Amino acid sequence: MSWTDERVETLKRMWSEGASASQIAKELGQVTRNAVIGKVHRLGLSNRVALNGQPEGEEPAVAEAASAPATAPAPVDDEDDAPEDEELAAAPEPEADAEDEEEVEAPVPFRRPIIPAGQPLPPQPSANEISPEAQAAALAVEKAAKRLSLMELTEKTCKWPVGDPATPNFWFCGMPVQQGKPYCEAHVGVAFQPMSARRDRRR
């Protein structure tokens, strides 16, 4: 497969839309994400986000606006090609944690100590040693959790158990796991408490 005009166009479009190299590669097919990245660089449309200004000497310099007297048909009134906008290229940043908590003392709603058969539950940290922040985060996630059954769990779903396993109201969180962890971000937060944080937390 070679870089036909059509494929290059698709590449440009998706890249400008913020798609990752691997996503683009999958869409195009027959190419790897490395090929996509390489092409992106050769096309000169690299840095979607301008974040530099450091050791490397030159870089901004020229914007060859009219330096293409070659056989290239002059693009007339296209909205295309405007490499001058330095201010543009705002990276979509879906990071938004609206944490409005005045009462950090969460009343610990979960935890149902009644064990059906006598087998110990998985090492759920007792509520009194979870940091309030982590509790709040977990609580928020559990409200929006996917509520998966055991059979629906995969390597990529949060395996945090919620509820009493002996009742129909038992389910697993199911949110996207944090890389390498069995839980989502919020539940990682309650599962892995730093020693310093859980130290001396009275009930």
The residue ranges that bind DNA (CB under 7 A) are 1-3, 19-23, 31-35, 37-42, 46-47, 179-180
Shortest reach from residue 32's CB to DNA, in Å: 3
- Judged by beta carbon, residue 15 or residue 160, the one nearer DNA is 15
Query: CA-CA distance, 94 to 37, in Å (whole number)?
Result: 24
- Least distance to DNA from the beta carbon of 35, Å? 4
Whether the CA torsion 159, 161, 165, 169 is positive or negative: it is: negative
Which residue's CB is nearer to DNA, number 17 or number 101? Answer: 17
Rounded Cα–Cα distance for residues 190 and 159 (Å): 13
Complex with DNA: residue 108 or 153, whichever CB lies closer: 153
Residue 53 C-beta: closest distance to DNA, Å: 13
User: Residue 3 or 170: which CB sits closer to DNA?
Assistant: 3
Q: Which two tokens stand for residue 128?
A: 């009194």
CB 143 → DNA: shortest distance, Å? 26
DSSP 116: S
Nearest CA-CA partner of 60 in 77, 37, 81, 84: 84
CB nearer DNA, residue 129 or residue 185 = 185
**Cβ pair 46, 40 in contact under 8 A:** yes
Taken as a whole, the chain contains a residue count of 203
DSSP 127: G
For the bound state, the minimum distance from the C-beta of residue 156 to DNA, rounded and expressed in Å, comes to: 8
134 neighbors 193 (Cβ within 8 angstroms): yes
